[in-house]
Amino acid sequence: MSTLDGRKRVVISNVAPQVEDGRYPAKRAIGEHVGLSADIIADGHDAVAASVIFRHESEQTWHDLPLSPAGNDRWEGTWTPAKEGFYEYRFTGWIDHFASWKRGLIKKFDANQDIAIELRIGEILLREAFEIASPPDKPAFEAWISAFGNATDPQETFDLVVSDALAVAMAKIRFTDRISVFDQTFRLEVERKKAGFSAWYELFPRSASEEPGRHGTFRDVLRLLPKVAKMGFDTLYFPPVHPIGEMKRKGKNNSLVPSAADPGSPWAIGNRFGGHKAIHPELGTLEDFTELVAAAKELDIEIAMDIAYQCAPDHPYVKEHPQWFKWRPDGTVQYAENPPKKYEDILPFDFETADWQNLWHELKSVIDFWIGHGVNVFRIDNPHTKAFPFWEWMIGEVRKTNPQVIFLAEAFTRPRVMERLGKIGFNQSYTYFTWRNSKWELEQYLYELTKTDQQYYFRPNFWPNTPDILPHHLVEGGENAHIIRFILAATLSSNYGLYGPVYEYGVNTPHPGKEEYTDNEKYEIKHWDWDRYSRTREIITRVNRIRKAFPALQSTWNIDFNETNNDRVISYTKTASEGGEPLLVTVNLDHDHTQGAHIRVPLHHFGIGYDQPYLIRDMLSGEKYKWQGEYNYVEMNPWEMPAHILRVERLN
Amino acid sequence: MSTLDGRKRVVISNVAPQVEDGRYPAKRAIGEHVGLSADIIADGHDAVAASVIFRHESEQTWHDLPLSPAGNDRWEGTWTPAKEGFYEYRFTGWIDHFASWKRGLIKKFDANQDIAIELRIGEILLREAFEIASPPDKPAFEAWISAFGNATDPQETFDLVVSDALAVAMAKIRFTDRISVFDQTFRLEVERKKAGFSAWYELFPRSASEEPGRHGTFRDVLRLLPKVAKMGFDTLYFPPVHPIGEMKRKGKNNSLVPSAADPGSPWAIGNRFGGHKAIHPELGTLEDFTELVAAAKELDIEIAMDIAYQCAPDHPYVKEHPQWFKWRPDGTVQYAENPPKKYEDILPFDFETADWQNLWHELKSVIDFWIGHGVNVFRIDNPHTKAFPFWEWMIGEVRKTNPQVIFLAEAFTRPRVMERLGKIGFNQSYTYFTWRNSKWELEQYLYELTKTDQQYYFRPNFWPNTPDILPHHLVEGGENAHIIRFILAATLSSNYGLYGPVYEYGVNTPHPGKEEYTDNEKYEIKHWDWDRYSRTREIITRVNRIRKAFPALQSTWNIDFNETNNDRVISYTKTASEGGEPLLVTVNLDHDHTQGAHIRVPLHHFGIGYDQPYLIRDMLSGEKYKWQGEYNYVEMNPWEMPAHILRVERLN
């Protein structure tokens, strides 16, 4: 009881955002807003006031963000943090004696009760405020105190009590010794813009050669850079570029019996030429790689590297650090397995090794090495099969000195595991979008991602395909389905990616019985004619241009779904909460047939009245329509253009 | 990194129960079970195991409660704590290498793969377990190790691997250095049985006289004790029994102009005869009071006292401790007000007084005083108008030395405020039940109370009426409504109470325009003929007898609602989770008309098959029926008996 100040009567609880009770920071990218809220109450009937105080890690002083009551004792405020790095924030609340007094006085005045004593109480409250008011406000307080003290005309004094000038001055007063501060300080991690807004393109450099049959090189990729830039991608992601294991190498279509010419899977990392810090000799040299990174940067493209923490049997680590692997009683290293299946070309690290500290440092040094060569974006292969404490430590350490580094988690696994990876530091994550097709699935999944607490730690990156996954609907729906799934990915999520050029050319022959590409590029070198026309590519180019022009498409959280009366037509508004103007998107989910629907336009988002005509401009087709009221008809032919991305303009 | 053991791969989160992230204990009464659960995951595909360890505050060693997977990485267990007081509990999880190995071996064996090396790995795992096995288990481990090492017949060895004996022995093994323990230890407060199961009867002792016109005394109440006991109540609660203020005293019907004979409101506490530690002279002496407390105890009735921390203007505190009140500029003490209304007979304490520590100690000493005179149950008047930090401190301190003391919060206010009072220590609380009438309202409210986290901190006490509240439906529905509302209160909630004898006699004339009794007993002395027959009283007596006989009615959390096809008929099962047999309750919510409905009997709760006939026995009417299948018909006439409380017996 001695240290407790029992006079602080305001109680704060159920604070948001918070991730695992403050164990992890909430996350936002530059430009994104965050809603702050808490339950804030006091005993009795006195007026309560509340604010959030916050400061950037580089600052000494706190800023004050007043909160407003949102009903049922919830208090809310909106904040758009301005700087990268960590902020800390605290919720505060206090009894607002002046507001209580003012409320009571108004009621008494309205009931024609005598307010003489009330005015004397008010004068006392003003004198208290005067003591701590800022110097520029002090003269005004002096005038009010004098007016209260010499009140003669009740109406005149009442007008002063309810005046805006007094309200504004009092709103600045903080009796810090009377303020309740929630016992926990929370953190918000503000990431660079790219963490929240990116368009990824994945290609195999070894397939980049202009001559069929020749192994592609980084120099070949140089030639493709302008084409990738023209499509509008800002992140070019390569599967692992390290030496590929020669022992137990897999052949075409994952065959256990490779031919001598088979190039092997890039994810079987390491051979006599080196491991995770080496370049596969056939791709070129380390200098070629850094040159490519620099050339890409000129085109506003970042190279993203694939980090797969696993070894081919001939990776140098196996001999140099045998203690990092599990050994079987027959003297062999434990390979990856999912009994009864065996993956003998892959040796996992043993994260329970007694030498775990050296293992962790070595794995981190791989990231440091590539940062040193200009890479700031890493796609992490199967992070869910490596120990969580390692990721938490590694990502934390890397971002402490290199906060610009972005980690994308390639975890296609159970919900709690994927969520965890976000909490412990991954900046982006692959998602279940790949398998969410129907309207209700998409709406439900986007709700989970953007309206629940997941928004604070799990940042989605939507991929319609990957070298590992050819979903059934891309097989069934052909080019139209490729276009629909791309538009959904690129407008539902501000981060998305695709694996090309198979995507632009609609390559979609599945391996029998599997959700995978047959003759998979993972096991063989392909050759692509980049000059061949592709409708998909044309639409990708248009949509990426629109994404760059409109801030509404540069955040994922600002989505509201619109009612439609056809389950094959989905519609959503990307609101203006992150700046710019709101956009209206409609997509036909049927890859075979034209579908139409009445959609309900959320007029309030566009500042349009119910009886006011307005102009709709489709940025995909260039067409214009005049609409009025909430319900309007759209129709989309998947053989031409399966979507509208609409600007909405008031007509005067 | 130095202190962190990176090899602990299991991660625990989202632990339940927890109240405000462990700031407050969860609560359960003796005999009640608590479900424990958490999200528990590890990287990769290894088998995970988990348990909760717990100990009573009086114990040194931890007990172990294994958890089971409940789907989607949720792990669950059920625990019925045995002792009053505080328990602490921790969630733990670990990689179960033996289980992973066993699962893999079974798959390999089934796929006809060679398991020789697997058996050698198993032998190593068994040797590790042998090291820490309890002495009685060691010989068995030795035998298994030898069997693995000398395995010749694969089928025989396989049978050993999957044997129950080995599974049981391995389930006891804990490699404590490999176990992840959630970083927070939570507390559970186990209260005495009465906190969870009580039937309250409120009466004004001053109305207990046998002779009309004479002020009732504690000696008069002595005479009524057997009648209260016969009805089945275990808690007899009196409005404040202290001297009643003479200054600004209210007259009949809250009149500001009392006559000299008006006794005043018992909640206007204190006059020249004393304050919160004195007895109103007309009720008797302190000795009479303690004698009554003792006599009640003989009949298994506890006297509950009303604590209203407020003062009449002539309370001795006002002169002795003027600093505990707010003074106005005109030299008067601030009275209670809700502008423009004034309550000049009541002076609130100023919880922002600089002398708050002495105020707190004095208020606590009131409780201590009455504990010293045998009172262990306190109904706290309007706790939401006194500072929360005070309650948290006061209740904590009192229960530290007197854990038997029960505090009931009389807070009819906003949800967050009522919840808070439960979190900071109140053992029971008044609720919104008083105004929840329709089926959907009752089902929704009971869901909120019993299935959300509220169950861990907010223990409802259902009151159909109070001296302050005569709800509209009791006015409209007369005796039938009184019976229906009583049965709902007494079977929906294991704690309930009512204000009598108005209740048994259906007194229900409202004060015009208000939800209150006219000629309210708060302001005048009443006289009751306790010998007059009352159907309500007869049903109260029967239901209280059933409540005492069946553990299913002695907890509030074990409720499941049953589907009915008539919105005027509500039905619920009180399950057997707290012991005893489950009961089926159906109530007609229509106080005017007979209503019938098909109800869906949850056969699984009664262990009855879909095609099996069973016997239904109504403990209210004594009637029996034979039913079969899920859907069965009930009918209730509110003029006779508006409910069934049914035992369900299997027929052989």
CATH classification of the domain holding B278: 3.20.20.80
- Does the beta-carbon distance from B6 to A356 stay under 8 Å? yes
Q: What is the pLDDT of residue A1?
A: 47
Polymer length in residues for chain A: 652
Domain-ending residue, one of B532, B551, B570? B551
| Confidence bin at A3 (pLDDT 50/70/90) | low
Runs of H (alpha helix) within A497-589:
535-549
Enclosing H/E stretch for B58: none
Q: Which of B13, B43, B448 to mutate to test the interface with A (most CBs of A within 10 A)?
A: B43
Residues whose CB is less than 8 angstroms from the CB of residue A441 and which lie 6 or more positions away in sequence, other chains included: none
For residues B58 and A557, give the distance between their C-alpha atoms in angstroms, rounded to a whole number.
50
Catalytic-labelled residue, pool B381, B479, B590, B618? B381
**Shortest CA distance from B39: residue in chain A:** A416
- Does the beta-carbon distance from A6 to B356 stay under 8 Å? yes
Sign of CA pseudo-dihedral B450, B452, B456, B462: negative
Q: Is residue B317 part of a domain?
A: no
The reply to whether A345 sits in an annotated binding site is yes
Q: Is residue B595 part of a domain?
A: yes
| Residue A593 at interface with chain B, using a CB cutoff of 8 Å | no
B201 - beta bridge partners? B236, B498
- Its ipTM equals 0.95
User: Kind of pairing, strands B569-574 and B583-588?
Assistant: antiparallel
B571 - beta bridge partners? B586
Answer whether B526's CB lies under 8 Å from B532's CB. Answer: no
Sign of CA pseudo-dihedral B632, B638, B640, B646: positive
* Cβ contacts of A414 on chain B, cutoff 8 Å: 41, 72-73
Residues B535 and B598 in one domain: no
* Cβ contacts of A339 on chain B, cutoff 8 Å: 103-105, 107-108, 111
CATH of the domain at B567: 2.60.40.1180
| Residue B531 at interface with chain A, using a CB cutoff of 8 Å | no
For residues A113 and A487, give the distance between their C-alpha atoms in angstroms, rounded to a whole number.
66
499-518 in chain A: CB under 8 A from chain B = none
Q: What is the pLDDT of residue A6?
A: 86
Q: Is residue B266 part of a domain?
A: yes
Nearest CA distance, B63 vs chain A (angstrom): 27
Write the DSSP symbol of residue B245. Answer: P
142-201 in chain A: CB under 8 A from chain B = 183
289-328 in chain B: CB under 8 A from chain A = 328
For residues B51 and B179, give the distance between their C-alpha atoms in angstroms, rounded to a whole number.
10
Nearest CA distance, A495 vs chain B (angstrom): 25
- SS3 at position A578: coil
Write the DSSP symbol of residue A44. Answer: T
A380-389 burial by CB neighbour count: b if 16+ within 10 A, else e?
A: bbbbbbbbbb
- Does the beta-carbon distance from A43 to B384 stay under 8 Å? yes
Closest residue by Cα to residue A449 from A468, A463, A429, A435: A429
Task: Taking each helix axis as running N to C, give the angle between helix A154-161 and helix A138-149, from 0 to 180 degrees, rounded to the nearest 10.
Answer: 150
Check whether A2 has a pLDDT greater than 70: no
Answer whether B311's CB lies under 8 Å from B347's CB. Answer: yes
- Does the beta-carbon distance from B117 to A8 stay under 8 Å? no
Burial of B176 (0-12, 13-18, 19+ CB in 10 A): exposed
| Structural domain range at position B604 | 559-650
* Cβ contacts of A11 on chain B, cutoff 8 Å: 388, 420
B506-533 burial by CB neighbour count: b if 16+ within 10 A, else e?
A: bbbeeeeeeebbeebbbbbbbebebeee
- Indicate the average pLDDT of chain A: 96
Q: Is residue A347 part of a domain?
A: no
* Cβ contacts of A107 on chain B, cutoff 8 Å: 339-340
Provide, rounded to the nearest whole percent, the portion of chain A with pLDDT above 90.
92
Q: Is residue A594 part of a domain?
A: yes
Residues whose CB is less than 8 angstroms from the CB of residue B514 and which lie 6 or more positions away in sequence, other chains included: none
> What's the token pair of residue B274?
């004393």
Residues A564 and A544 in one domain: no
Q: What is the pLDDT of residue A4?
A: 63
366-395 in chain A: CB under 8 A from chain B = 384-390, 393
For residues B405 and B562, give the distance between their C-alpha atoms in angstroms, rounded to a whole number.
36
* Cβ contacts of A352 on chain B, cutoff 8 Å: 7, 9, 95
In angstroms, what CA-CA distances link B320 with A542, B317, B323, B324, B346? 82, 5, 9, 9, 17
B401-405 contacts, C-beta under 8 A, 24 or more apart: B402/B371, B402/B376, B403/B84, B403/B85, B403/B191, B403/B192, B404/B192, B404/B376, B405/B367, B405/B371, B405/B376, B405/B377, B405/B378
| Domain count for chain A | 3
Does B123 qualify as catalytic in the annotation? no
Answer whether B182's CB lies under 8 Å from B253's CB. Answer: no
For residues B516 and B241, give the distance between their C-alpha atoms in angstroms, rounded to a whole number.
22
For residues B156 and A5, give the distance between their C-alpha atoms in angstroms, rounded to a whole number.
71
For residues B132 and B517, give the distance between their C-alpha atoms in angstroms, rounded to a whole number.
71
For residues B580 and B31, give the distance between their C-alpha atoms in angstroms, rounded to a whole number.
11
- Does the beta-carbon distance from A389 to B73 stay under 8 Å? no
Q: Is residue A14 part of a domain?
A: yes
- SS3 at position A593: coil
Backbone angles phi, psi at B417, to 5 degrees: -70, -45
- SS3 at position B440: helix
pTM: 0.95
Residues whose CB is less than 8 angstroms from the CB of residue B117 and which lie 6 or more positions away in sequence, other chains included: A328, A329, A330
Residues A167 and A294 in one domain: no
Closest residue by Cα to residue B23 from B420, B306, B336: B420
CATH of the domain at A184: 2.60.40.10
Q: How does pLDDT run across A468-484, given as a tens digit for each residue?
A: 999 999 999 999 999 99
**Shortest CA distance from B6: residue in chain A:** A389
User: Kind of pairing, strands A569-574 and A559-561?
Assistant: antiparallel
Enclosing H/E stretch for A165: helix A164-171
The reply to whether A102 sits in an annotated binding site is no
Q: What is the pLDDT of residue A204?
A: 98
Backbone angles phi, psi at A476, to 5 degrees: -75, -40
In angstroms, what CA-CA distances link B61 with B54, B55, B56, B198, B457? 8, 7, 9, 34, 27
A139-169 burial by CB neighbour count: b if 16+ within 10 A, else e?
A: eebeebbebbeebeeeeebbebbeeeebeeb
For residues B336 and B348, give the distance between their C-alpha atoms in angstroms, rounded to a whole number.
6
CB-closest option in A72, A339, A414 to B416: A72
Residues A563 and A547 in one domain: no
Residues A98 and A133 in one domain: yes
Largest CA distance in chain A: 104
Chain pair A-B, CB pairs under 8 angstroms: 154
CB-closest option in A117, A330, A352 to B328: A117
| Residue B121 at interface with chain A, using a CB cutoff of 8 Å | yes
Q: How does pLDDT run across A348-366, given as a tens digit for each residue?
A: 999 999 999 999 999 999 9
For residues A295 and B78, give the distance between their C-alpha atoms in angstroms, rounded to a whole number.
62
The reply to whether A310 sits in an annotated binding site is yes
Residues A565 and A546 in one domain: no
Residues A524 and A573 in one domain: no
Answer whether B411's CB lies under 8 Å from B463's CB. Answer: no
**What is the Cα Rg of chain B in Å?**
30
Residues A518 and A568 in one domain: no
Residues A186 and A243 in one domain: no
Domain-ending residue, one of B513, B528, B551? B551
- Does the beta-carbon distance from A45 to B13 stay under 8 Å? no
Catalytic-labelled residue, pool A306, A410, A479, A521? A410
Residues of chain B with pLDDT under 50: 1-2
Domain-ending residue, one of B503, B522, B551? B551
Residues A581 and A529 in one domain: no
Residues B97 and B38 in one domain: yes
Q: Is residue A620 part of a domain?
A: yes
Q: What is the pLDDT of residue A149?
A: 85
90-109 in chain A: CB under 8 A from chain B = 95, 103-105, 107-108
For residues A84 and A2, give the distance between their C-alpha atoms in angstroms, rounded to a whole number.
41
> What's the token pair of residue A522?
């993972």
Task: Taking each helix axis as running N to C, give the angle between helix B415-423 and helix B388-401, from 0 to 180 degrees, rounded to the nearest 10.
Answer: 30
Residues whose CB is less than 8 angstroms from the CB of residue A77 and which lie 6 or more positions away in sequence, other chains included: A35, A36, A37, A51, A52, A65, A66, A67, A68
Q: Is residue A324 part of a domain?
A: no
- Does the beta-carbon distance from B104 to A339 stay under 8 Å? yes
> What's the token pair of residue A253?
């279509």
For residues B578 and B555, give the distance between their C-alpha atoms in angstroms, rounded to a whole number.
7
Residues whose CB is less than 8 angstroms from the CB of residue A116 and which lie 6 or more positions away in sequence, other chains included: A151
Residues B518 and B440 in one domain: yes
* Cβ contacts of B45 on chain A, cutoff 8 Å: 338, 385
Does A39 qualify as catalytic in the annotation? no
The reply to whether B522 sits in an annotated binding site is yes
Q: What is the pLDDT of residue B339?
A: 85
Nearest CA distance, A69 vs chain B (angstrom): 14
Closest residue by Cα to residue B158 from B80, B102, B120, B204: B102
Burial of B268 (0-12, 13-18, 19+ CB in 10 A): buried
Residues whose CB is less than 8 angstroms from the CB of residue A587 and which lie 6 or more positions away in sequence, other chains included: A484, A487, A488, A491, A569, A570, A571, A636, A642, A643
Q: How does pLDDT run across A113-167, given as a tens digit for each residue?
A: 988 899 999 999 999 999 999 999 999 999 999 998 888 887 888 899 999 999 9
Write the DSSP symbol of residue A333. Answer: B
Q: Which of A21, A148, A382 to mutate to test the interface with B (most CBs of B within 10 A)?
A: A21
Amino acid type, B464: P
* Cβ contacts of B415 on chain A, cutoff 8 Å: 72-73
B407 - beta bridge partners? B378
In angstroms, what CA-CA distances link B249 with B8, B29, B46, B265, B278? 69, 41, 75, 8, 18
> What's the token pair of residue A479?
């080019």
